[in-house]
């Protein structure tokens, strides 16, 4: 393996683990598609940061993307809670309009700047193979921060994810915990964007978490399994992409995650389809032999 | 306005109209994110149909898109029901995987496929007016060959099935009872979403098509609750933002499709603020008005209590005479006195009710009564009076004024 492949592998695995863990909260809070909305809403921040910073410094671009996501989420909240618009419509509207604004600004940058703007668009499709060591450090840093936040707020997060009604009755501000989850998700999306692109980073926050949900009923193990699935999918995607011609890593990562999802849905011990079917058959058998009380 | 401008706007408006009409149903049924899912997942359908038929003619493309759209909805629903996963989770899994598959196919067969990912994403509205072919002697943009049938199909289907879809949107249970086969209609609608999405790809691209699907409907839904008006407003917003988006994009030399999406977003923001049916502004005005009413009513009730303390009302009020004068020199008109008596009577009736029937202590009922007095109407006060056997005094020993007859 070349040095470059190792860098890409390390960065992708870290990103996968981060998105898996953070995405678990979104999935449990029934906001699975929020990562997708955020990934699209981040776009206007990139050209704006480029214009303000006068260049393509990665930290500036990521800050711009984060600010843009925050703006989009504010718009979403305003539409959702201050008007008659429902969740789904507010999400779709913010996603598409912010993306439109992003494209308008990108075109503007292409018009006014004398150069150096090339590659801003790579945030849309992602450029996994172009990862450098500093990307890995940034991802690692963000992952550590998220891990710290999750550890500190673990009790509150768990309560809100599994029983928001009870959480509210204990005096916990559910809104603030949701805000925290939104923030964590935004961080993961922002570092993921330049690596795998808009749709693939959304997929990474959803698929590993949904797959992990089949294996366990408690939050701790779910976070662990989702992280492992995320990392595994990224590793598989990167390795296959490196060994084959004309096989982009982004889609391969998603397809690897899909394989993990299908395996989980079929073979997970309690909630898997096979286990469910077996339980049902056993029950039927017992019923026929009269071993069941009516 | 020269011909290129005109044709571009016509293409944009045709596309937005078709999107808006389908979008109203998506928004009413609260499945807007299906638009996002389908606009991503039609990609593999498009690629496969292109590989099979080797052409970019509208009908094979529509077929591929409809199949992909149906597959997305079907898979989303079956995964959710078979595994117990939430519908949004399974939708997220399905459309991202299908999109990944599409991107992979495009990369593998790039030589055979004339599909540029950038074009699929942003659309090429700027150039559609240049690619024309003559129809009846007029040079018509080729894009209309796809969009016009899509618009016609949408219009015809929605008119034919308007009753079914309407009942489904507002009362799915009733739809089933009436024998409308909601599942079939749902899938039909999703296939239509896919067809419209694909037809719009060339013009506005895959992401901005979501703005045109959902935005006009959101704005219309904020503005009215009547579905006919909703369609009219959604159409207006669709055409309006096409024109505005195009004009702004030409003026600032940016992406037309992007500007249209921004225009739609702005339209929704404006609707949320200025809507006569629950807009932010209207609610603020109402809030101010009711605050002013409550403050005025509180002032009147206190004036009455002052009169009461000075003994005027016990002398005059009960005999139906009008008391004038207030301790510090202000005057209460006959109308003011009547309103004040209503308020104080309501207040004291509620206090009596809370103590006698609910069993709360007399010390803790004032706050509730103070809030309730502004909301009671004559009928409710009469009912309370009857319910409590026409009490003369409240729990604090103050007399309950009789309801003025006028």
The tens digit of pLDDT for each residue in A155-213 reads 999 999 988 889 989 888 888 999 999 999 999 999 998 888 888 899 999 999 999 99
CA distance B19 to B158: 12
Asked if A258's CB is within 8 angstroms of B265's CB, the reply is no
Q: How many CB atoms lie within 10 A of CB A169?
A: 9
Our CA dihedral for B141, B142, B145, B146, rounded to 10 degrees, sits at -110
Q: Could you tell me if residue A293 is inside a domain?
A: no
CB contact under 8 Å between A78 and B272, yes or no, is yes
DSSP secondary structure code for residue B310 in this structure:
T
Percentage of chain A modeled with pLDDT above 70? 97
Contact B92 A247 (CB under 8 A): no
Q: Is B248 helix (H, G, I), strand (E, B) or coil?
A: helix
For position B243, what pLDDT does the model report?
95
Distance to chain A for B2, nearest Cα, Å: 24
Q: Is A112 on the interface with B (CB under 8 A)?
A: no
Q: Inform me whether the C-beta atom of residue A239 falls under 8 Å from chain B C-beta atoms.
A: no
Contact criterion met (CB < 8 Å) for A254 and B97: yes
Chain B nearest-CA distance from A155, in A, is 23
Residue A128 is assigned to a structural domain of this protein? yes
**B30 contact residues in A (CB cutoff 8 A):** 86-89
DSSP 8-state symbol, B376:
-
Which among A31, A40, A246 is the nearest to B107, CB-wise?
A: A246
> d(Cα A224, Cα B261) in Å, to the nearest integer?
40
pLDDT for position A54:
77
Residue A180, pLDDT score = 94
A92 to chain B, closest Cα gap in Å: 6
By the 10 Å C-beta count (0-12 exposed, 13-18 middle, 19+ buried), B19 is classed as buried
Rounded-to-integer distance, Cα B56 and Cα B50, Å: 7
Residue of B40, B261, B280 lying closest to A99 (CB–CB): B261
Alpha-carbon distances of B127 from A134, A245, B145, rounded to whole Å: 40, 33, 15
Asked if B374 and B294 count as a contact pair (C-beta separation under 8 A), the reply is yes
Of B85, B103, B215, the CB nearest to A248: B103
Domains annotated on chain B, with CATH: 3-214 (no CATH), 283-387 (1.10.60.10)
pLDDT at A158: 92
Query: Number of A:B CB contacts under 8 A?
Result: 217
* Burial class of residue B282 in the structure, from the number of CB atoms within 10 Å of its CB (0-12 exposed, 13-18 middle, 19+ buried): middle
Q: Is B8 left (phi over 0), alpha (psi -120 to 50) or beta?
A: alpha
User: Using a CB cutoff of 8 Å and minimum separation of 24, what contacts does B367-374 make?
Assistant: B372/B346, B372/B347, B373/B297, B373/B301, B373/B343, B373/B344, B373/B346, B373/B347, B374/B293, B374/B294, B374/B297, B374/B343
Q: How far apart are CA B191 and CA B184, in angstroms?
A: 11
Best mutation target among A37, A40, A104, A236 (most B Cβ atoms within 10 Å) is A104
- Chain A from 30 to 49: CB within 8 A of any B CB: 30-33, 35-36, 40
CB of B171 within 8 A of CB of B58? Answer: no
Distance from CA of B269 to the nearest CA of A (A): 8
Residue A200 falls within a domain, yes or no? yes
Question: Which member of A30, A89, A104 has the closest CB to residue B88?
Answer: A30
Chain A nearest C-alpha distance from B158 (Å): 20
Are A203 and B92 an interchain contact pair (Cβ–Cβ within 8 Å)? yes
Angle between helix B227-252 and B256-274 (nearest 10)? 130
| Residue A203 touches chain B, beta carbons under 8 Å | yes
> Which residues from chain A sit within 8 angstroms of residue B36, using beta carbons?
33, 36, 91-92, 95-96
Angstrom distance (rounded) from CA B372 to CA A107: 58
Range of the domain at A235: 3-288
Per the structure, the count of domains in chain A is 1
Q: What is the pLDDT of residue B183?
A: 83
CATH number of domain containing A170: 1.10.3470.10
A227 lies in some domain: yes
Q: Contact A248/B117, CB-based, under 8 Å? A: no
ipTM reported for the complex, 2 dp: 0.91
Answer whether A40's CB lies under 8 Å from A99's CB: yes
Length of chain A: 294
Which residue from B minimizes the CA distance to A91? B33
Shortest CA gap B215–chain A (Å): 6
Q: What is the dihedral of CA B13, B16, B17, B22, to 10 degrees?
A: 170
Q: What three-state secondary structure class fits B132?
A: strand
The residue ranges of chain A whose pLDDT is under 50 are none
Task: Report the alpha-carbon distance of residue B379 to residue B69 in Å, rounded.
Answer: 56
Give every CB contact of residue A106 below 8 A, 6+ residues apart in sequence. Answer: A43, A46, A47, A120, A121, B255
* Mutation site for A-interface testing, chosen from B33, B35, B260 by largest number of A Cβ within 10 Å: B33
3-state per-residue secondary structure call for chain A:
CCHHHHHHHHHHHHHHHHHHHHHHHHHHCCCCCHHHHHHHHCCCHHHHHHHHHCCCCHHHHHHHHHHHHHHHHHHHHHHHHHCCCCHHHHHHHHHHHHHHHHHHHHHHHHHHCCCCCCCCCHHHHCCHHHCCHHHHHHHHHHHHHHHHHHHHCHHHHHHHHHCHHHHHHCCCCHHHHHHHHHHHHHHHHHHHHHHHCHHHHHHHHHHHHHHHHCCCCCHHHHHHHHHHHHHHHHHHHHHHHHHCCCCCHHHHHHHHHHHHHHHHHHHCCCCCHHHHHHHHHHHHHHHHCCCCCC
Q: Are A96 and B31 an interchain contact pair (Cβ–Cβ within 8 Å)? A: no
- Tokens representing B29? 């049924």
* Secondary structure letter of residue B358 according to DSSP: I
Residue numbers in A near B33 (CB within 8 A)? 33, 88, 91-92
> Which residues does chain B have within 8 Å of residue A251's beta carbon, measured at their own beta carbons?
99-101, 103-104, 107
**Per-residue model confidence as pLDDT tens for chain B (406 residues):** 578 888 889 999 999 999 999 999 899 888 899 989 998 898 888 888 888 887 777 778 888 888 998 999 999 999 999 888 888 999 999 999 999 998 888 888 866 666 666 666 777 787 777 777 777 777 788 888 888 988 999 999 988 988 888 888 778 778 878 887 888 888 888 889 988 988 887 778 877 899 999 999 999 999 998 888 999 999 999 999 999 999 999 999 888 889 999 999 999 999 999 998 888 899 999 999 999 999 988 888 888 887 777 766 554 554 444 445 555 556 677 778 888 888 999 999 999 999 988 888 888 888 889 988 898 888 899 898 888 888 888 888 888 887 765 4
Which one, of A125, A98, A105, A136, lies nearest residue A3 by Cα? A136
Chain A: closest CA distance from residue B284 (Å): 12
Asked if B89 and A27 come within 8 Å (Cβ–Cβ), the reply is yes
Quick one: pLDDT at residue B320?
A: 45
pLDDT of residue B324: 52
Provide the whole-model pTM: 0.85
Q: Give me the residue from B33, B110, B215 closest to A97, CB to CB.
A: B215
* Structure confidence at residue B406 (pLDDT): 43
- CA–CA separation, A282 vs A270, rounded Å? 14
Which of B84, B215, B257 minimises the CB distance to A93?
B215
Chain B residue with minimum CA distance to A251: B100
The answer to whether B101 contacts A251, with C-beta atoms less than 8 Å apart, is yes
The answer to the question of residue A294 being in a domain is no
Interface-testing mutation among B28, B205, B207, B247, with chain A (most A C-beta atoms within 10 A): B207
A210 touches chain B (CB under 8 A): yes
């Amino acid at each position: 393996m070349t040095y470059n492949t190792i860098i890409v592998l390390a960065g992708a695995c870290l990103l996968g683990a981060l998105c898996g863990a953070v995405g678990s909260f979104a999935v449990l809070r029934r906001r699975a598609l929020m990562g997708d909305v955020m990934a699209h809403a981040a776009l206007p921040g990139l050209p704006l940061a480029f214009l303000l910073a006068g260049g393509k410094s990665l930290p500036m671009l990521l800050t711009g993307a984060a600010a843009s996501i925050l703006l989009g989420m504010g718009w979403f909240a305003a539409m959702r809670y201050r008007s008659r618009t429902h969740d789904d419509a507010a999400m779709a509207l913010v996603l598409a309009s912010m993306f439109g604004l992003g494209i308008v600004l990108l075109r503007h940058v292409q018009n006014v700047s004398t150069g150096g703007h090339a590659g801003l668009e790579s945030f849309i499709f992602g450029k996994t193979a172009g990862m450098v060591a500093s990307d890995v450090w940034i991802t690692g840093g963000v992952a550590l921060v998220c891990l710290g936040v999750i550890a500190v707020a673990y009790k509150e997060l768990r309560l809100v994810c599994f029983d928001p009604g009870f959480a509210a009755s204990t005096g916990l501000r559910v809104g603030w915990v949701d805000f925290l989850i939104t923030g964590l998700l935004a961080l993961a999306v922002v570092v993921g964007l330049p690596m795998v692109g808009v749709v693939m980073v959304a997929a990474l926050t959803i698929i590993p978490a949904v797959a992990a949900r089949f294996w366990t009923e408690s939050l701790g193990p779910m976070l662990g399994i989702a992280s492992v699935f995320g990392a595994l999918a990224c590793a598989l995607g990167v390795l296959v992409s490196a060994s084959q011609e004309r096989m982009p890593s982004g889609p391969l990562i998603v397809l690897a995650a899909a394989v993990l999802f299908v395996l989980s849905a079929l073979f997970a011990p309690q909630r898997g389809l096979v286990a469910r079917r077996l339980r049902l058959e056993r029950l039927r058998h017992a019923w026929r032999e009269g071993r069941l009380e009516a | 306005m020269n011909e290129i401008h005109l044709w571009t706007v016509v293409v944009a408006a045709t596309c937005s109209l078709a999107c808006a009409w389908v979008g109203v149903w998506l928004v009413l049924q609260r499945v807007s994110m299906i638009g996002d899912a389908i606009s991503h997942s039609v990609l593999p359908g498009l690629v496969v149909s292109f590989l099979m038929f080797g052409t970019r003619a509208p009908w094979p493309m529509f077929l591929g898109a409809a199949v992909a759209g149906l597959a997305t909805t079907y898979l989303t629903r079956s995964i959710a029901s078979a595994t117990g996963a939430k519908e949004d989770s399974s939708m997220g899994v399905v459309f991202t995987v299908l999109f990944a598959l599409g991107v992979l196919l495009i990369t593998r067969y790039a030589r055979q496929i004339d599909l540029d990912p950038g074009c699929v994403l942003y659309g090429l509205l700027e150039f559609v007016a240049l690619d024309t072919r003559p129809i009846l002697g007029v040079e018509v943009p080729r894009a209309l060959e796809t969009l016009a049938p899509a618009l016609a199909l949408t219009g015809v289907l929605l008119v034919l099935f308007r009753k079914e879809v309407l009942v489904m949107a507002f009362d799915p249970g009733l739809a089933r009872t009436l024998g409308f086969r909601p599942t079939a209609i749902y899938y039909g609608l999703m296939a239509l979403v896919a067809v419209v999405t694909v037809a719009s790809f060339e013009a506005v691209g895959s992401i901005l098509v979501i703005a045109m699907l959902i935005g006009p409907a959101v704005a219309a839904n904020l503005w009215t609750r009547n579905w006919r008006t909703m369609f009219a407003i959604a159409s207006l917003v669709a055409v309006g933002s096409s024109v505005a988006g195009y004009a702004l994009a030409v003026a600032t030399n940016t992406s037309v499709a992007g500007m249209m999406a921004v225009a739609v977003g702005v339209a929704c923001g404006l609707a949320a603020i200025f809507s006569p049916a629950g807009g932010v502004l209207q609610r603020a005005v109402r809030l101010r008005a009711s605050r002013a009413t409550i403050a005025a009513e509180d002032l009147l009730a206190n004036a009455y209590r002052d009169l009461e303390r000075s003994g005027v009302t016990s002398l005059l009020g009960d005999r139906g005479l009008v008391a004038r004068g207030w301790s510090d020199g202000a005057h209460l008109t006959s109308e003011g006195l009547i309103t004040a008596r209503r308020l104080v009577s309501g207040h004291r009736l509620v206090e009596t009710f809370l103590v006698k029937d609910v069993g709360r202590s007399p010390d803790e009922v004032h706050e509730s009564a103070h809030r309730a007095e502004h909301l009671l109407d004559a009928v409710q006060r009469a009912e309370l009076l009857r319910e409590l056997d026409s009490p003369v005094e409240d729990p604090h020993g103050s007399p309950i004024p009789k309801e003025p007859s006028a």
